[in-house]
């Protein structure tokens, strides 16, 4: 029991230090917020639960998420989180949303119940509709948007929630130089009234812009440094004499020019999607984790600096990065399944300076565990969270000698070794340990992550 008291004394000292670290960490987070949003797609069969994603997003200090639906599980998981949401209506719903009564019913079921606790600020009606060459769908778009907007007005929600739609960059027939930006002639009959709607309702014009596509199609003509925000000679617009050092800014200003050509200077352009794939098919030139890391890292730096485009120097860029996770069920080329910043298990695909964690704790046993052991596991888990130097994954998924096993996995590094050694010592010195060390080994995972991981397996005594 003397060893037990010594252990408790040590935990008390550790806990005081932990509180100090938590305070410092919280202060840092509150003073260094992120100004970008992230697309949270869910076309996958291996994603973490929304409640765990909420923890990840909070740890990243990201304040805006964009969904492609109105998943009630996600909206509920983010209650009282201060995260702003753009939610979506899928293209297949546009026909029914033309009916004002159906639109109002949708808003009453998918928006109104959550607004008191979850910040829904925008609804996207359809996604890249004009890229599908479906005349009926294009004809349904604006009436559906108007019905949803009118439903918000009727419910007194139009000051809280805007209505828009997201477009592919392919709706432009010309984009270089940026001042020559113009919409495709065949789309102008649809886009002109759409712009009038945006101006009337003060809603943003959303565009999905991917410099990756331009580079992939013409790697011999387009500078990789130009599309990755790296030092380069850039290009000059001969009409405005403005200098562009990256393609994304040129694309944004091309959209502004196209909107202006149709008589509007009162509409804000936002990037609803941009990103870079970490993997692609053999013909998808440039789809590598190195390029993805460079693109997104440099983009986030510019966002944090509140940069604006050359033609609109007073309007900071407003961007949603694509995407939070790799999505293994997305159709199309391999790149479509590899835009994620994170793997579904919460480990980063590459390092862009964001330190987040995805805690996973699956407890299948309801056996009584003493306070000492509950505290020890909580302490070590939270210490890992605060330090941000490794992640701990706790699972009870195996059975050894007829007993469920507690597995703890840690990323390589000093703090991982410290944790493993300290936990081993703590369990060894405790006369009443409910768990005993089964194995303590270091393994090297094979495959694309190539992450060295320390794994501890504990078996109930």
pLDDT digits (tens, 9 = 90+) for 57-85: 998 999 999 999 999 999 999 999 999 99
pLDDT greater at residue 284 or residue 386: 284
Cβ count near 436 (within 10 Å): 12
What whole-number distance in Å separates Cα of residue 410 and Cα of residue 93? 45
pLDDT surpasses 80 at 365: no
Structural contact between residues 293 and 272, judged by C-beta atoms closer than 8 angstroms: no
Q: Which fold has domain 35-337?
A: TIM Barrel (3.20.20)
- For residue range 407-457, list pLDDT tens digits in order: 454 444 444 444 544 444 444 433 333 333 333 333 333 333 333 344 444
If pLDDT is split at 50, 70 and 90, which confidence band does 359 have? low
Tokens of 195: 């712009």
CA nearest to 386, candidates 78, 34, 17: 17
Task: Retrieve residue 130's tokens.
Answer: 């004009």
- For domain 2-22+357-460, the CATH architecture is 2-Layer Sandwich (3.30)
pLDDT at 368: 36
The catalytic position among 26, 84, 92, 273 is 273
Sign of the alpha-carbon torsion through 275, 277, 283, 285: positive
The pLDDT assigned to 354 comes to 77
Model pLDDT for residues 208-229, shown as the tens digit of each residue:
999 999 999 999 999 999 999 9
- Is the peptide bond preceding residue 177 cis, with omega within 30 degrees of 0? yes
**How far is 241 from 234, CA to CA, in rounded Å?**
12
CA distance readout (Å), 461 to 6, 104, 411, 424, 427: 21, 59, 27, 15, 11
Question: What integer pLDDT is reported at residue 280 of this predicted model?
Answer: 97
Active site residue 327: no
Q: Average pLDDT over the chain, rounded to whole?
A: 80
Please indicate whether residue 401 is annotated as part of the active site. no
Give the residue extent of every domain in the chain: 2-22+357-460, 35-337
pLDDT at residue number 356? 67
- Please determine, for residue 95, whether its predicted confidence score (pLDDT) is greater than 60: yes
pLDDT, one tens digit per residue, over 291-331 is 999 999 999 999 999 999 999 999 999 999 999 999 999 99
Angle at 343 between CA 360 and CA 44, to 5 degrees: 95
Over 60: is that where the pLDDT of 88 sits? yes
Q: Which of 84, 92, 128, 412 is catalytic?
A: 128
pLDDT band at 345 (very low <50, low <70, confident <90, very high): confident
Read off the pLDDT of each residue in 163-191 and give the average, rounded to a whole number: 98
Backbone φ and ψ for 326, nearest 5 degrees, come out as: -65, 140
Q: What distances in angstroms separate CA 307 from CA 111, 181, 292, 313, one per listed residue?
A: 33, 21, 20, 8
Residue 30 in this model has a pLDDT that exceeds 90: no
Compute and round to an integer the Cα radius of gyration of the chain: 25
């Amino acid at each position: 029991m003397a060893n037990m008291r010594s252990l408790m004394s040590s935990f008390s000292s550790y806990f005081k230090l932990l509180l100090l670290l938590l305070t410092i960490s919280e202060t840092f987070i509150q003073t260094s917020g992120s100004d970008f949003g992230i697309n949270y797609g869910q076309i996958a069969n291996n994603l973490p639960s929304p409640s765990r994603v909420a923890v990840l997003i909070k740890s990243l200090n990201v304040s805006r998420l964009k969904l492609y639906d109105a998943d009630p599980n996600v909206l509920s998981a983010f209650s009282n989180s201060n995260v702003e949401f753009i939610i979506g209506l899928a293209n297949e719903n546009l026909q029914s949303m033309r009916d004002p009564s159906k639109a109002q019913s949708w808003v009453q079921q998918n928006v109104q119940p959550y607004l008191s606790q979850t910040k829904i600020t925008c609804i996207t009606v359809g996604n890249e509709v004009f890229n599908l060459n479906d005349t009926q769908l294009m004809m349904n778009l604006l009436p559906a948007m108007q019905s949803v907007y009118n439903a918000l007005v009727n419910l007194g929600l139009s000051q809280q929630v805007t209505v828009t739609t997201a477009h592919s960059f392919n709706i432009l027939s010309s984009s270089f130089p940026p001042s020559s930006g113009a919409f495709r002639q065949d789309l102008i009959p649809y886009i002109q009234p759409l712009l009038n709607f945006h101006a009337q309702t003060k809603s943003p014009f959303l565009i999905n812009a991917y410099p990756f596509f331009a580079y992939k199609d013409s790697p011999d003509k387009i500078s990789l440094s130009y599309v990755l925000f790296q030092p380069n000679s850039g290009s000059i617009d001969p009409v405005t004499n403005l200098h562009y050092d990256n393609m994304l800014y040129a694309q944004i200003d091309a959209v502004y020019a196209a909107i202006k050509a149709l008589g509007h200077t009162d509409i804000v352009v936002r990037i609803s999607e941009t990103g870079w794939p970490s993997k692609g098919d053999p013909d998808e030139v440039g789809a590598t984790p190195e390029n993805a890391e460079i693109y997104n890292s440099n983009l986030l730096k510019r966002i944090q600096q509140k940069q604006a485009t050359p033609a609109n120097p007073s309007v900071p860029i407003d961007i949603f990065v694509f995407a939070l996770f790799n999505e293994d069920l997305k159709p199309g080329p391999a790149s479509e399944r590899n835009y994620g910043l994170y793997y579904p298990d919460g480990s980063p695909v590459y390092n862009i300076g964001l330190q987040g964690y995805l805690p996973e704790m699956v407890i299948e046993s309801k056996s009584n565990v003493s306070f000492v052991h509950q505290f020890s596991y909580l302490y070590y888990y939270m210490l890992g969270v605060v330090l941000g130097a490794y992640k701990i994954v706790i699972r009870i998924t195996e059975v050894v000698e007829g007993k469920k096993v507690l597995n703890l996995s840690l990323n390589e590094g000093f703090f991982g070794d410290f944790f493993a050694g300290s936990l081993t010592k703590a369990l060894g010195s405790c006369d009443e340990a409910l768990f005993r060390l089964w194995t303590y080994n270091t393994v090297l995972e094979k495959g694309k992550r190539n992450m060295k991981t320390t794994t501890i397996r504990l078996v109930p005594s």
